[in-house]
Amino acid sequence: MKKLHLVLVAIMLAATASAAVAQDAQPQGGQRGGGGRMMAALMQGITLTADQQTKVDALTKKYADARQTMMQDQSLDQDARRAKMREAMGKQSEEIKALLTDEQKKVFEKNQADLQARMQQGGGQRPPV
Rounded to the nearest integer, the mean pLDDT of the chain is: 75
Query: What pLDDT is recorded for position 9?
Result: 39
Q: Residues 27-85: pLDDT tens digits?
A: 333 334 446 788 889 999 999 999 999 999 999 999 999 888 888 888 888 888 888 88
User: Which of 3-12, 35-44, 70-79, 111-120 shows the lowest per-residue confidence on average (mean pLDDT)?
Assistant: 3-12
Residue 125: pLDDT over 90: no
Q: Of 45, 39, 99, nearest to 63 (Cα)?
A: 39
The Cα–Cα gap between 111 and 48 comes to: 15
Query: What pLDDT is recorded for position 35?
Result: 63
**H/E run at residue 120:** helix 102-120
Query: What pLDDT is recorded for position 126?
Result: 52
The Cα–Cα gap between 43 and 50 comes to: 14
Q: Return the SS3 of 106.
A: helix
The Cα–Cα gap between 88 and 75 comes to: 18
Integer-rounded Cα radius of gyration of the chain: 19
Q: Please, where are the H alpha helices in 25-101?
A: 34-42, 50-72, 78-99
Q: What is the arithmetic mean of pLDDT over 96-107?
A: 96
The Cα–Cα gap between 126 and 129 comes to: 9
